[in-house]
Structure 1
C-alpha cells in the first residue's frame, strides 16, 4: 500500500493495536485495523459525537470493541448450525489489511480486506460529512454459502428515553427479548425497556434527538433487516466493557441480513451490504 494521505495517521491505541486516525476538514474519525472497526466519526457540522464508543471498550486482539460500528460477518448472531462458533462471525475479532487509503476535498476513503478459506470480505469506508460503509462478500469456494451479517452501528444520544426512531411504523418484526415473538410496529419506535428487534424492512430510518436538536438518517442497501438494540439496565450492568448507566447514551440501529433472511451466495458471486449515515435538518 502507498503512503497514508496527510489527513490520516497511524497510532497505537493500545499495545500492538493499530488505529487509523482521521483529521480532515470534513470529519474526524478513528478506525481500528482490528475488525476494520469504525470507533468514532464526527463530521465537521456535528456538535456531538455521532457514533458511540464505550469508555470501557477493551482494545485487545480477539475481543470485539464495544461500540462504534462492529462488522458482523459472515453470519449474524449465533451461527445457525454450530453453536461453538463465535457469535456474529469472525470479522469483529481479527485484524484486517488496509489495501487503499486516499483523500480528496470531500473526505477520506479507506479499503480493508479479510480473507477466509472460501470467502473474501472487502470493506470500503468513505469518511466525510457523511459516513459510507460498503461490505462486499465474494464466494471463492465451490459451494453455495448462506450469508448473513450486519453493520452493527451504535449511535450516541442525549438520553435514550427521549429519542424517536422513524421509518419503521407498520413494519413487522421479531422480538428476541425473552421468547422470540413476531410483532407489528404501531407508530414510531420509542425505547423505555430492553429492546432487541429484527425488523423486516429495507427502508431508511431516522433517529431524532430533540435535546441535541439533531436527526441522523441511516440509509442502506443489500439489507433485508433492520435491527434495533438497547440492553437496558440489567444487561448493561452485566457487560464488563460498558458502564452500568451507559444504556442511556446510545441505541444500535443496524443494517443487517438476519440469519432468517440469509442470502444464498453462489460460487463466484458477490454481495454488497451498505449503509450511509448523515446528519439532516
Structure 2
C-alpha cells in the first residue's frame, strides 16, 4: 500500500502519508501529524484539523501536532524569528519503517542546512489501533553549546472545550508569553471561545530549554491514547 499524495488543488504544502481513509495522516511538511484515531469501538478523531483552512501563515499548517523547534515562541530570550521556530516550515525527508493493517512507523528527518540552525532532527511517529507515540531526536551539529527548545503543540479535538479537564498540572506555574500574564494552574485550563478543540503543549522550553554541547544528542517522547473516566 503506497503513500497517498495530496492533489494539486489542496492548499497543503507537500505530500502526506495517509492510512485508513485519512484517519491516520502525517504530512512531510513539518513532519506534522494531522490525524490519528483508534480503530476499534466507537472511535472518533483524537486530533483537531480543518483541511478547509489549513494554514495560519504561509507554509504553516494549523491543527494536528505541529513541532515547534528549534525554539518555542521567540526563543529563550524572546528575540528569535520566525515565531515557534523553523521546523514547521521545513520539508522533512520521509522513511516508512513499518507498515501494516494496524501499525505504522514512519520517520522524518531534516538536516541543519535545511533547518537553518545547527541541529539535526529526526521525528518518529508510531501509530497503532489503540495509541500513538511520538519521539523527537535532536543532535547539535554546531561548534559551540547551543540552546534548544522543542514543543509538540497538540490540537486535541473535544466535544465541548468548556467541559474539558486537564489533570496533572495543578499548582504548576504558567506564563502567557504573548501577553506577559502569569499565574498558577487551578482546575479550568480551557477557554470558551473554541469549543471543539483544546491545545496542550508538551516539551522543553523557556526556563526548561536544553543546552546542547557540540555533538550531543537527546530525545523527547510523547504518547497519546484514549480511555474513559
Asked if the contact 1:125/1:132 (under 8 Å) is kept, the reply is yes
1:259 aligns with 2:209: no
Match of 1:40? Answer: 35
RMSD between aligned alpha carbons?
A: 2.5
Which among 2, 9, 12 is matched to residue 3 of structure 2?
9
Shift of 1:190: 4.1
What secondary structure does 2:91 align onto?
A: coil
Contact persistence 1:30–1:38 (CA under 8 A): yes
Query: What whole-Å deviation, never above 9, does each CA across 1:7-33 have from its counterpart, x for those lacking one?
Result: x52211527621110129xx9311111
1:80-229 equivalence runs, <5 A: 80-81=76-77, 83=79, 85-104=81-100, 106-117=102-113, 118-128=118-128, 129-176=130-177, 178-181=179-182, 183-186=183-186, 188-192=187-191
Match of 2:195 among 230, 241, 248: 248
1:255–1:274 contact (8 Å) kept in structure 2:
no
In the superposition, relative to structure 1, how do residues 18 and 192 fare at CA in structure 2: closer, same or farther (>3 Å)? closer
8 Å Cα contact 1:79-1:86 kept in structure 2: no
TM-score normalised over the length of structure 2: 0.85
Which of 211, 222, 225 is residue 275 of structure 1 equivalent to? 222
Q: How far 1:180 sits from its partner (Å)?
A: 3.0
Quick one: distance in 2 between partners of 1:165 and 1:70?
A: 20
Partner Cα separation in structure 1 for residue 57 and residue 162 of structure 2: 34
How far did residue 55 of structure 1 move? 4.2
Q: Which runs of 5 or more structure 2 residues have no equivalent in the other structure?
A: none
User: CA distance change for structure 1 residues 119 and 84 in 2, over 3 Å: closer, same or farther?
Assistant: closer
What's the CA shift for 1:164? Answer: 1.3
TM-score by length of 1: 0.70
Report if the CA contact (8 A) 2:38-2:44 is conserved.
Answer: no
Deviations 1:94-150 (A, max 9, x none): 110003331246510000001114210000000112111101100122111101120
- Mean Cα displacement is larger for which, 260-269 or 77-86? 77-86
Bigger mean CA deviation after superposition, 105-114 or 262-271: 105-114
The DSSP-based 3-state class of the residue aligned with 2:6 is: strand
Structure in which a larger fraction of residues adopt strand: 1
Q: Structure 1: where are the runs of 5+ without partners?
A: 1-5, 194-231, 233-246
Query: Counterparts of 2:89 and 2:178 in 1: how far apart (Å)?
Result: 25
Q: Deviations over 1:242-261 (max 9, x none)?
A: xxxxx111011121212221
Alpha-carbon contact 1:121-1:137 (below 8 Å) kept: yes
